Amino acid sequence: MSMETSSAKFNGNISDVSAVAQPLAEEPTEIASNIKYHARYTPHFSPSKFEPEQAYYATADSVRDRLINQWNDTYLHYDKVNPKQTYYLSMEYLQGRALTNAIGNLDFRDAYADALKKLGHELEEVVEQEKDAALGNGGLGRLASCFLDSMATLNLPAWGYGLRYKYGLFKQIITKAGQEEVAEDWLEKFSPWEVVRHDVVFPVRFFGDVEVHPSGSRKWVGGEVIQAIAYDVPIPGYRTKNTNSLRLWDAKASSEDLNLFQFNDGQYESAAQLHSRAQQICAVLYPGDATENGKLLRLKQQFLLCSASLQDIIARFKEREDGKGAHHWSEFPKKVAIQLNDTHPTLAIPELMRLLMDDEGLGWDEAWGITTRAIAYTNHTVLPEALEKWSQAVMWKLLPRHMEIIEEIDRRFVASVQSERPDLENKIPSMRILDHNAQKPVVRMANLCVVSSHTVNGVAKLHSDILKAELFADYVSVWPTKFQNKTNGITPRRWIHFCSPELSNIITKWLKTDQWVTNLELLANLREFADNAELHAEWESAKMANKQRLAQYVLRVTGVSIDPDTLFDIQVKRIHEYKRQLLNVLGVVYRYKRLKEMSPQERNNTTPRTVMIGGKAFATYTNAKRIVKLVTDVGDVINSDPDINNYLKVVFVPNYNVSVAEMLIPGSELSQHISTAGMEASGTSNMKFALNGCLILGTLDGANVEIREEIGEENFFLFGATADEVPRLRKEREDGLFKPDPRFEEAKQFIRSGAFGTYDYNPLLESLEGNSGYGRGDYFLVGHDFPSYMDAQARVDEAYKDRRRWIKMSILSTAGSGKFSSDRTISQYAKEIWNIAECRVP
C-alpha cells in the first residue's frame, strides 16, 4: 500500500465529511457522515485509527441503525396484529457474513460503496474484515439460515432460535500432518450484529429431583440452575421492511453464584464452579461425546435451547393473551408453530409438556393436545448413526422430570397401538420411544418426534419416499397423513445475486427484469436464449471473471497457482465416507497415473483440469481426517510434477465456510455430488452450483434427482448404483460376489506404492476391501461405482472440449434452477405445515 492511500485514511478527503448521526441516511454523503459518527462516538478502537477493520465496525454500526429501526417496527407490527407465528428451533445456523447481505437486502450496496470511497476505503476490502459467524457445521445449519432469509423476504412472522457458540465447531488449518483444529475466533473482538437483551433471561435447571405434592402434581426441584440470556440478530428481508429475529441463547451464572468466602480463601476454581459450568455450555458446537461428561454437555446444550425458547414462546403468548382474562391454552396452537430442525431440539416435546402441566397446571390430555398440535419435525437423515439415541441413565440423571414424561408418552403410545392396531404388536419394540435393550437402554429421539408431532417431513422427494417406505414405514400405517415432503431450497439473494454480480446482471439484462431474484421460476425464460451467440459470449466472460477471482483466492490461501483456462472441478462439503470424497481422490490418482504413462502428444489431447476439494472432517472421525491428508499428499505430488501440472492440479481448499463457498461456487464449472444413492437426504450445495451455471456430476441421490429432472438429463453427468439397488449390491458383496474393476485396483495400488509419500493409507484403503466386518466391505460402494464414475468423467472431458455445447448446458442449468429457491420451500411450509400467513409491515 502506498503512503498516500494509507494516510488518506486519517486525513485526505475524510476531513470533508462531518461526523453526524444520520441513522436513516440514504445518500452516500449522509451515510459517510453516519459511519464517521459511529467511528467517533461509538468507538471500539483507539481514536487515531481508521483502517479497514475500524471502517468495517463503523460501517456495520451504520447499517445496524437502519436495521434496528425496521426491526422495532416489525416487532411492534406483529405485536399489534398478533398473527400465528413460527418458531424455528435449530442447533445450527451458518449465517455467513452479514454486511454484504444486509446492504444487499436493503438495496444500499452502491450507496455504501460510494460512502466508503469518500472515507478513503473500498467496500470490497471492508467486507473482507468480517468473520463468518461460527454457529454451524454443514447443510443443516446453512438451510436454517436460507430459511430465515426467505421467511423475512416473504414477510412471514417467524423467529429462529439457536445457541451462541463462542468457538463454533473449529477453524480448520491444513499442515503436513493433515487437518488440525483450532477454536474459531469470530467473537474474539465482538459481533456488531447482535443485540443482547438484558431483560430476556430465563432459568434453566439441570439434575435435581422430582417432588410429588399431596395433590398428585409434580415439580422438578434442586440440582443446578443457570440463566439463559438472549442475543438477537436482525434478519432483513430482501427489499421489504420486515426484519425478523434470530434469537441466540447464551448461558451464564449470576453474581450470587460466586462464593466470595471460598474465593477470598484462595479456592478460586470451586468458588466460581457454576460460572465455569455455565460457560462450557455454549463454548463449542458438537463437543466430543465419547465420555459421559461429553454426553451430559451435549444434552445440556440441547435442553438449554429447548427450555429457554419454550419459556420465551410461552411468555410471549401469555403477554398477548393477557387482555382476555384467563389464558385460553386451547389458543396456543392457533398462535404458535414450532418446527424442530432434526432431532437435536426433541427435548422441546417433554419440556413443553412439563411447563404446561407443572407450571401452568394443565392436565395430561390438555397439555398433550396442545403439544402435538404445536410441534412439527423435519427429518434430515436416514444414516442410523445420525439418528440420536440417548442413554436412559444419562437422561434420568440430567432431566429426571422429562424422563417421567417420556416414559408416560411411551406407555400411552404402546397402549394405543395394542388396542387400535393389534396387527402391529410385533412392531412395537422397534416403534416405541424407549428401547429397553438390557446392554444399553436408550431413548430414541426420532421415534419421540414422530409420535409427538402433527407433521413429519423429509427434505427431498427421494428422501421422503425412503422415510415412508423404510425408516418410518410402520408409523405411516398408523398415521398415513402425517408425512410430507418439502424439497429444500437456497436463497437466490446470497447464492447468486450477491456472490456473482456479473452473472446476475446478465440474467437481469436478458430477462428484462430483476424480479427473478424473488421469483426464481422466471429463470426458465432463459431457455429461449440458450443458443444465442451474444448470450454465450457474455456468459463465458462472466464465468471467466469468477474463475479469475477464485484463482487469486486459491493462490492467497494455499500458495498454489491455478490456471483459469483449465476445467474447474469442485467438491466442497463436510468430509464423510458416504459423501465419497475418497471416490473423487481415487479417480484423480488414476487420472494422474494415466497422464504419467502418456506421450506429450497424447497429453495435449486431454482436457486440463484443476480439482478442488474442501470441507471439515469432524475432529474425532479418523477416516475422514485420513481422506483430507490423502488429498493434500496427492496434491503435493501432482502440483510439483513438471510433466503433468499443466494438465492436472489438485488443491485442498482450507477452512470451508459460507464465505469460501461464495468464492468457490461462482467459479466452478463442474461440481461433484457423488454420495452413495439413498444416503444424502437432499444436499443443497448441488442447488447452489446448478443455479450458478455449474454442471453436476452425480448419483441419483437426494435433490440430484429433482435437479436432473428440472434441468434435463442431457445436462447432467449421471453415474452409479440407484438407491433401490444398494441393498442387493451390499448383500452380493457380503456373499463374495463383487469383482473389482482393474482401474480401481490400480489406483489403490498406486497409493500403496508410496507414490504420494510414506503415510500409511492401508487402514483407509482397507475400508474398501474385504467382504464384511466392522469398517470393511466397502459399505459405501466406492468400488462398485468406480467404473461408472470414470466413464462419466470421460464424458465430462469430451463435453468440455465443445465450448458451444458446454456453455449451452451451463445456461440450461441456471434456467432449470427455479424450483430450488428457499422462497418456494418456505411458502410450502407456511401453507402446508405451519398454517401462517404474510404479515407485512406497512
Residues with catalytic roles: 380, 573-574, 579, 684, 688
- CA dist., res. 696 & res. 716, Å (int): 6
DSSP for 768-803?
A: TSSSSSTT-S-TT-HHHHHHHHHHHHHHHHHHHH-H
C-alpha closest to that of 195 among 232, 156, 144, 237? 232
CA angle 301, 305, 310 (to 5 degrees): 150
Residue type, 701: D
Q: Between the CA of residue 285 and those of 26, 151, 494, 579, what are the distances in Å?
A: 39, 25, 24, 22
Listed in sequence order, the DSSP H helices in 437-532 are 445-452, 461-466, 473-478, 492, 501-511
H or E segment and range at residue 263: helix 260-264
Please give the distance of CA 369 from its chain centroid, rounded to a whole number.
32
**Ramachandran angles phi, psi of 756, nearest 5°:** -115, 25
Contacts 24+ apart (CB under 8 A), 701-704: 701/462, 701/673, 701/675, 701/676, 701/677, 702/460, 702/462, 702/463, 702/673, 702/675, 703/459, 703/460, 703/487, 703/488, 703/820, 704/673, 704/680
Given a contact cutoff of 8 angstroms between Cβ atoms, the answer to whether 612 and 565 are in contact is: no
Element (H, E) at 372: helix 364-374
β-bridge mates for residue 173, sequence order: 180
- What cell was used for 461? 422427494
Is 147 in contact with 88 (CB distance < 8 Å)?
yes
Burial class (CB in 10 A: 0-12, 13-18, 19+), 566: buried
Question: Which residue do the cell numbers 497415473 mark?
Answer: 593
How far, in Å, CA of 209 to CA of 353, rounded? 17
Beta strands at 224-236 and 195-206: parallel, antiparallel or unpaired: antiparallel
Instruction: Output the CA torsion 521→527→530→536 (10° steps).
Output: -30
Using DSSP's 3-state secondary structure scheme, residue 485 falls into strand
Measuring CA to CA, which residue among 554, 570, 809 is closest to residue 688?
Answer: 570
Do the beta carbons of residue 551 and residue 572 sit within 8 Å?
A: no
User: For every residue of 227-248, which 3-state class applies, written as one string?
Assistant: EEEEEEEEEECCCCCCEEEEEE
Helix (H, G, I), strand (E, B), or coil: what is residue 648? strand
Let me know if 599 is exposed, middle or buried by CB neighbors in 10 A (0-12, 13-18, 19+): exposed
Can you name the residues that pair with 671 across neighbouring β-strands?
A: 570, 696
Backbone angles phi, psi at 570, to 5 degrees: -130, 135
Q: Torsion angle of alpha carbons 331, 335, 341, 343, nearest 10°?
A: -10
Give me the helices (H) in 559-691, please: 581-597, 600-604, 622-639, 658-664, 685-691
In whole angstroms, give the CA distance from residue 30 to residue 575: 47
- The H or E element containing residue 249 is strand 243-252
Cβ proximity of 708 and 718 under 8 Å: yes
With CA atoms as reference, report the closest residue to 379 among 456, 314, 452, 455: 456
CA distances from 63 to 49, 66, 68, 145 (A): 20, 6, 9, 20
Nearest to 397 by CA among 307, 299, 304, 311: 299
206 - beta bridge partners?
Answer: 224
Locate the DSSP E strands across 681-739. 695-698, 717-718
The letter for the amino acid at 121 is H
